Amino acid sequence: MGKLREPLAEIGQCGLPVALEAMGERWSFMILRAAFNGVRHFEEFLESLGIARNILSNRLSKLVDVGILRRDHCEDDRRRIEYRLTDKGLALLPAMLALREWGERYELGCPSDLVLCDERDGKPIAPIGIYAHDGRLLDHNDLHWRERHELDAEELERVDRRANAA
């Protein structure tokens, strides 16, 4: 794994610590999973997760504060609040799926009974992976870090386009 070790000077600019700070811990991921599955109201989160009210309230507030969820008033009852994923929250789906696959493979030792499928054709999605710009599936031995200033303009444009894609 030596190839993937980031230079010490660059670690402060790494997005991983800020992402982990935004998501927090297990309950935040469980809330996010429920939101991806259509749960919108406080009581629904409470019932589906079996979480204590104070913890749920705290985690929902934090996810709203960091822009992963937004609070909307229900159209049919303005006194009720719905929690909806923002674009920032929706962008976490690949990370959630990668963690799920990892958990099934290394912790459960078997796939889940529920299989995520493409809405269009009903076929299971491909495993989450790391792909080269030309579509090749890569593993950790195929990767190394480069300084941003070492990339040419075309490579930088591709990196920036990928980072800004939503």
Q: Which residues of 145-159 are buried (b: 16+ CB within 10 A; e: fewer)?
A: eeeeeeeeeeeeeee
Question: What is the spatial distance between Cα 96 and Cα 36, in angstroms, rounded to a whole number?
Answer: 10
| CB burial of residue 165 (10 Å; 0-12, 13-18, 19+) | exposed
Q: Phi-psi category of 151—alpha, beta or left, where left has phi over 0 and alpha has psi -120 to 50? A: beta
Bridge partners, residue 89, by sequence = none
> pLDDT at position 1, please?
43
- Tell me the domain boundaries of the chain: 15-91, 113-166
Q: What are 102-137's pLDDT values in tens digits?
A: 999 888 888 888 899 999 999 999 999 999 988 999
Q: Residues of the chain whose pLDDT is less than 50?
A: 1-2, 8-9, 166
Specify the CATH number of the domain 15-91: 1.10.10.10
- Residues 154, 139, 32, 61, Cα dihedral to 10°: -60
Among the listed residues 19, 20, 23, the one whose alpha carbon sits nearest the alpha carbon of residue 35: 23
> pLDDT at position 2, please?
47
